[in-house]
Structure 1
Amino acid sequence: MTNGSDDSRPGSGGRSARPGLLLGRPFGIPVYVTSSWVIVAVLITLVYGGIVQNRLVLGPVAYLLAFVFAILLYASVLVHELAHSVVARGFGLPVRRIVLYVLGGVSEIEREAPTPGREFWIAFAGPLLSLVLAAGAYVLASVADPFSVTGELLFQLWVANLLVGVFNLLPGLPLDGGRLLRAGVWKVTGRAFTGSVVAAWGGRVLALVVVALPFLFAWSAGGRPSPWAIVWGLVLGGFMWMGSTEALSSARVRERVPGLRARALARPAVTVVADTPLAEAERRAGESGAEAVVVVDAGGVPVSIVHPEAAEAIGQGRRAWVPVSSVSRALTRHSVVSVELAGEELLGVLTSHPLPEYLVVDEDGGVFGVLRAVDVNAAMTGEG
């Protein structure tokens, strides 16, 4: 029930393994459902089946209808997430996939919205469509026999969409209402980071409220909270707390992106030919103050970069005999970046093809240095 981008740090692995069963590709967007969905489906079937049985007296069929409600709930979540994704793609933001899991769904949008207005519409599209569907199903349910299977299904449909729409409008990350709050604060202050901080703390407050609700309701009624209510409160509250904390951490990382400079982050490098002994290459690097070794061909064209871990694995006695080519990683067209790249443009190039290191070239195409993913990640997390 959230929308956001994944870990955008270089070398973080890029596209992860499939998170579950591929359901299809509506609008060209892969949709996956995790095995955790079965847990919720079983719980809804068991709990809601008894309610349906009391209303319609259908026998075992009541539990079949309850299972249909579980499917309708997740179909509502899917439609909700598709609204986010379609609007995001309309604004030119790539969508990796949609994942449905135990507590809802997430649209994995690979870049942040560039303006608060676009952030608002991407976030609002999901709840808006959910509420429109809820209203439509409610109108149909109002003219159907409430004690018929059709009436029950329409009732389930409008309730499912109402739940999805209203819950997601709560003002705190990682919910859509938190992104609406973020967009508003961003618009007023001119700083996306400030909006993220406010919305993340809003999510933390909501998490505490959700955990406390079963106890507050029980106290107001003069009774004790149901164990199930406590468990669900802790699960939902924990989900919201972790989501808001992750959003806050991500915002802090994103705040440092504009300060990234390939020129500043590149380590100075020395160039050697492929048959140069590792010991000789290290000696030259030490004399010139270089921290990386780039291997070039006979024409001086870079072909690979010495891999530090592979080089360190060579014993001191063998380094005078091992050529640098045997401990180097070959360069590809994705391994080379311009020294002029900075900020979002630099990060976009690096995350589109995550690698441990990149060759940084100057304006004339000459070797400027080597950019390591660990250095970029350290700069983004404030550890550098």
Structure 2
Amino acid sequence: MSEATEKAPGLKLGRIGGVPVYLSNSWFIITAVITVAIGVQLSNNALIPPLVAYLLGFACAVVIALAVLVHEVSHALTARAFKWPDAHIVLTLMGGHTQFGSFKAKPGASLAVAMAGPLSNFVLAGLAWLALQLPNLGLYPGLLLNFFVYANLLLGAFNALPGLPLDGGRLVESAVWKLTGSQFKGTIAASWVGRFIVIGVLAWFIVVPFLKGEQPQLLTMVVGVMVAVFMWQATTALINHAKMMLNLPKVIAGDLMSPASAMMSVATVADVLTRRRNRGGQIILVDPQGMPCGVVDEQALSRVDPASAAQVSALAVSRALGRGAVVAQDSDGRQLIDYLASVSTAEYAVIDARGTVVGLLHQRKIIAAVTGRKA
């Protein structure tokens, strides 16, 4: 994604290793929640003044952001080693993510980039644990270092679970990808594993405490439900996208088009009516260079007085085709999607292998075919 052409996803903090880092507005929400939740808990300790308790709560929120930032930077820098394009990092309500531009990945590279994040958190946890061994740390530094250790262990371990959208899901995705030759089949398999993890998250945060006869903490329940909802929505989007991509090769322009034939743009309405009587189908007008430039509009055609049909230009009853709105009859869904992105028109002239116009294809039919929805 280009920073020059896309709206910034948040407040830009700068660059790390050449990778832009942004802070989403939603980050302030989770920071406030963490600050208050930890502040309330620490203020119950007689050794910690209330103001200090909330300052420590805010420091813990910053510590989590730091752990997430290192996690995402590890993704981005590893991706750069594999020449993945246009990375940027966004710190958000749910932690953070690293966004890349369009590219073709390989199973091994995808797995390496994914696992770099959890590995970095385990390294941070180890370094923080070593720092805890230093003498005379003091109460507050000790509390923060302990929190940093557990935050990194939790972040690393949770993200290493083998289901998308978690990093560990790339392990399942890469395995199925290698086995089947299809990344999208791997994505579907790993996303279903992710859904089972969602069920496990809800069970752990809500069901297990009840089974133990305990009352779940409100904050714990809210965090558990938020994580579960986020993961379920993410897996749904991943599965739908993968199914669409698997369907693209089966979508062929010739199967979606309406029959059509070409006439020179100098033709009259009388010529059009004669062609329709003899051959039927849609009429596509072509310019002197043979390029499709318009489609005869049925409603406009019906309003022409038959007595004056020979004097009315066919262009007068046509709707314009966008420049370059031509697709080959054997184009599949992947090529058609490229046309949607590159040509600003809702209709396309379809030509056969000889360059003859044989049909008219509407954008809505392409979208319906690739998404599985009715046009």
TM-score range, shorter chain: 0.7 to 0.9
Are 2:165 and 1:174 equivalent residues in the alignment? yes
Distance 1:287 1:237, change over 3 A: farther
Deviation at 1:220, TM superposition (A): 5.2
Equivalents in 2 of 1:279, 1:152: separation in Å?
A: 88
Deviation at 1:336, TM superposition (A): 5.5
Deviation at 1:272, TM superposition (A): 4.9
Tell me which of 136, 140, 145 is aligned to 2:131. 140
Within-5 A mapping of 1:305-320: 305-306=294-295, 316-317=302-303
The corresponding residue for 2:237 is 246
8 Å contact kept, 1:87–1:121? yes
Within-5 A mapping of 1:1-384: 18-24=8-14, 26=16, 29-53=19-43, 54=45, 57=48, 59-95=50-86, 97-111=88-102, 114-143=105-134, 145-147=136-138, 149-219=140-210, 221-262=212-253, 265=256, 268-272=259-263, 284=275, 288=279, 290-291=281-282, 294-302=284-292, 304-306=293-295, 316-317=302-303, 323=315, 327-331=319-323, 342=332, 344=334, 347=337, 350-351=340-341, 356-358=346-348, 371-383=361-373
- Letter of the aligned partner of 2:236 in structure 1? T
Distance 1:262 1:199, change over 3 A: same
Greater Rg over alpha carbons, structure? 2
Equivalents in 2 of 1:379, 1:203: separation in Å?
A: 28
8 Å contact kept, 1:275–1:324? no
Equivalents in 2 of 1:349, 1:30: separation in Å?
A: 31
Distance 1:267 1:25, change over 3 A: farther
Structure 2 gaps of 5+ residues are none
- Letter of the aligned partner of 1:35 in structure 2? N
Deviation digits for residues 153-197 of structure 1, max 9, x if unmatched? 444444433332211112222211222222123334544444333
- Letter of the aligned partner of 2:224 in structure 1? G
Looking at both structures, which has the greater relative contact order when contacts are Cα pairs under 8 Å and sequence separation is at least 6? 1
SS at match of 2:133: helix
SS at match of 1:143: coil
Distance 1:356 1:118, change over 3 A: farther
SS at match of 2:303: helix
Equivalents in 1 of 2:276, 2:78: separation in Å?
A: 51
Deviation at 1:229, TM superposition (A): 2.7
Aligned positions, number: 364
Deviation at 1:237, TM superposition (A): 1.6
Equivalents in 2 of 1:336, 1:79: separation in Å?
A: 48
Deviation at 1:239, TM superposition (A): 1.8
Deviation at 1:131, TM superposition (A): 2.3
Deviation at 1:64, TM superposition (A): 2.9
Distance 1:338 1:233, change over 3 A: same
Deviation digits for residues 303-322 of structure 1, max 9, x if unmatched? x455x9xx588695379879
Q: Percent identity?
A: 35
SS at match of 2:97: strand
Distance 1:61 1:284, change over 3 A: farther
- Letter of the aligned partner of 2:234 in structure 1? G
Distance 1:317 1:324, change over 3 A: closer
Deviation at 1:72, TM superposition (A): 3.2
Deviation digits for residues 105-153 of structure 1, max 9, x if unmatched? 2333455754322332232122222322332333234326543554444
8 Å contact kept, 1:305–1:331? no
SS at match of 1:60: helix
Distance 1:354 1:135, change over 3 A: farther
Structure 1 gaps of 5+ residues are 6-14
- Structure 1, 125-134 or 342-351: larger mean CA deviation: 342-351
- Letter of the aligned partner of 2:303 in structure 1? G
Distance 1:370 1:149, change over 3 A: farther
- Letter of the aligned partner of 1:328 in structure 2? A
Equivalents in 2 of 1:19, 1:279: separation in Å?
A: 56
Equivalents in 2 of 1:255, 1:55: separation in Å?
A: 60
